Amino acid sequence: MRTVTAAYLRRDWLVWSSYRFAALFQIMTVAVVVIGVAFAGDSLITKVSEFNGSQDFASFVLAGLAFTDALFSALTGPSRAVRDGQTSGTLEPVLLTPIRTGQFIIASSVFQIVLSFVRATLIVTSAVVFLGYWHHADVLAAVLVFVPGFLTLLGIGLLSSAFTIVVKQGDPVVAGYLAISGLLGGTLIPVSVLPAWLRSVAELLPLTHALRGLRVALDGGGIDAVAGSVAVLTIMALVSLPLGIYAATAATRRARREGSLVVY
Amino acid sequence: MKAVDVRDVRKSFRRVRGLRDTFRSSVFDVALAGINLSVEEGEIFGLLGPNGAGKTTLIKILCGLIIPDQGEVRIAGLDVTESMAARRAIGVVYGDERSFHWRLSVRENLRFFASLYRIPPRVADTRINDLIGLVGLEHAADRKMLGFSSGMKQRASIARGLLHDPAVVLMDEPTRMLDPIGAFELHSLIRERIAEEGRTVLVATNLMAEAETLCNRLLLIDRGRPMLTGTVSEFRAAFRPETVYRFLVEGPLGDALAALRLLPGVHEVRTEHRSADAAELVVTFDGDVSALPAIIRLLVDANLEIASCLKEEVSLDQVFRAVVSARPEPACVP
């Protein structure tokens, strides 16, 4: 797996860095997000009071954006990798090599995931260094929340890739989940300000628990304070990851039988 | 052990239909209907057929990308639908240009695929250098493939197909994108380098000249059905069992025609392009051509000058057209 992942990382780095403007633009976007959110927080929205214990609007939104990006990379990466392979024509020669479909899907998602981690790290580091946020963050607690949250979304991402393999377009998993999570997961709007019935829906979303736990950890809450989020996310991961692996494997077999594996 | 062993492979595909047919029952088109194929080690085997015959489907089944509905496929003794080891025994060369990362160089592309085959980096680098030399891409090995011509991409595809040193190489219309010179060079490469190393090569093509130039044996399929199998000469014999010679003679024919018809083994004698002082004699033998010296003697004795004497070969194109024009109706299963 390491050899295959390293091969994909190297390939994707070469491709990504060959689009020089896009690469530069992505790095600049991080700076624009940090400066823009800090400015908006300082001058416009400081009076909004519900930010789940975070210091202010800017820290709430920056944490939301950074970690939603990193977590969603697990959700969108697998189906995007399959789709890119289908449309570029490179999926077929890859599937002729002795690697399993799961290996291919995960290894080909790694670069986008790493890239999102780099963006998240840049946002968090900028917030710590330039804006003075999260000096008392409990990194271990944050990692304990992030890992099961990431694995839960990776499971859903694999499920989504199964749809891409079978139906090619119109994957309902990513489209539906992104829409609902974007609104209700607590990226930009605190869950606590939502109407009661929407709060119940939000509690079903892994993103809600992940962002809640991560914000608590960033604000210095220890392992005890994030234990609830970690427990919920671990249960979700134990369900979604095997389901996602099974779905991707079954979808690949079905596509091989239908002869549609590399059709797009 | 057979290099390629295919037994009674059948495959149907569900027909892709529009939104308004969503609630109608599915219709399946028969892509392959009972294909049997056996290729010996080191053989160059041709898979012939018109567009839509099922060649690409069969190639994809042979390399494990499609699972057949029925039948068994073994490559180098390994079941391709179950065995990862079978994938190491198979190299595939496409006629399709779109199978590389165009923003990478050939060398980078080959390194990527070498990693997927778990070839150690040092071994891979040596192998890649050898293959780049073999396909004549030394001058462009480190250039991004964006600006490559069709021929260069095809050469790169050959290098990739041989990267992991496979025992069996499957080629799907390998000269589709090549000009005549490129096609000639590729044929030489297949005959003199790839097959010479003892590999088995299976070439799917609808170019009869290509099949004739390259292949030891052939299978002609049409609409998924096996139509004819054998060597090139067996194909010709199946199309026309008799042998035909054409004599261009100068001088008055006189009674020569009647005398020729009496010779043993001569089935038919007719003239074409006849003029006052020349004619083309078309002599059809039943199969036994032992009367050929007697014919020549007879023509000389009749004071006719033999300007040329040619054996008329049946081209594979003729065989192809004859078989395909007698094609059955397409099959579909509700």
Tens of pLDDT, residue by residue over B119-147, are: 999 999 999 999 999 888 999 999 999 88
Question: Contact A6/B115, CB-based, under 8 Å?
Answer: yes
* A64-75 per-position pLDDT tens digit: 888 998 998 898
Closest chain B residue to A86, measured at CA: B99
Confidence grade of residue A145 (pLDDT, cut at 50, 70, 90): very high
Q: How far apart are CA A62 and CA A59, in angstroms?
A: 5
Scan residues 154-183 of B and list those with Cβ closer than 8 Å to A.
160
Higher pLDDT, B327 or A140: A140
Per DSSP, B192 falls in state I
Q: Which of B13, B66, B160 sits opposite A256 (nearest CB)?
A: B66
B217 close to B37: Cβ distance less than 8 angstroms: no
Residues of chain A contacting residue B95, judged by C-beta atoms under 8 Å apart: none
For A99, nearest residue in chain B (alpha carbons) = B116
Residue A45 banded pLDDT, cuts 50, 70, 90: low
Q: Mind telling me how many Å the CA of A250 is from chain B's nearest CA?
A: 13
Note the pLDDT of residue A43: 58
Q: Comparing A249-258, B89-98, B252-261, B321-330, which segment has the lowest mean pLDDT? A: B321-330
Mean pLDDT over B294-303 rounds to 90
- Give residue B37's pLDDT: 92
Partner residue facing B104 (CB), from A15, A253, A258: A15
Q: Is the pLDDT of residue B178 over 90?
A: no
What's the pLDDT at B258? 87
Q: Which of B254, B246, B257 is nearest to B282 (CA)?
A: B246
Would you call A9 an interface residue with chain B, using a CB distance cutoff of 8 Å?
Answer: no
In this structure, which amino acid lies at residue A207? L
End-to-end CA distance of chain B, in Å?
Answer: 39
- Cα distances from A221 to residues A65, A141, A144, A225, in angstroms, run 20, 8, 12, 5
- Spatial neighbors of B195 by CB under 8 A, at least 6 apart, are B42, B44, B201
- Mean per-residue pLDDT over chain A, rounded: 84
Closest CB to A88: pick one of B63, B98, B118: B98
> What number of CA atoms fall less than 13 Å from residue B252's CA on the CB side?
2
For B126, residues 6+ apart whose C-beta sits below 8 A from its C-beta are: none
Report the pLDDT value the prediction gives residue B117, as an integer from 0 to 100.
93
In the structure, what pLDDT confidence band is assigned to residue A40 with cuts at 50, 70 and 90? low
- State the average pLDDT over residues B162-166: 92
**Chain B positions in Cβ-Cβ contact with residue A6 (cut-off 8 Å):** 115
A&B contacts, CB < 8 Å: 86
Query: What is the DSSP secondary structure assignment for residue A136, as one 8-state letter?
Result: T
pLDDT for the residue A232: 96
Q: Which of A140, A146, A156 is nearest to A230 (CA)?
A: A146
Q: What is the pLDDT of residue A42?
A: 61
**Least CB–CB distance from A98: residue in B100, B112, B117:** B117
Contact B52, B29 (CB under 8 A): no
Mean pLDDT over residues A202-215, rounded?
92
Interface test with B, best of A1, A97, A99, A249 (most B CBs within 10 A): A97
d(CA A164, nearest CA chain B) in Å: 17
Rounded Cα–Cα distance for residues A264 and A86 (Å): 6
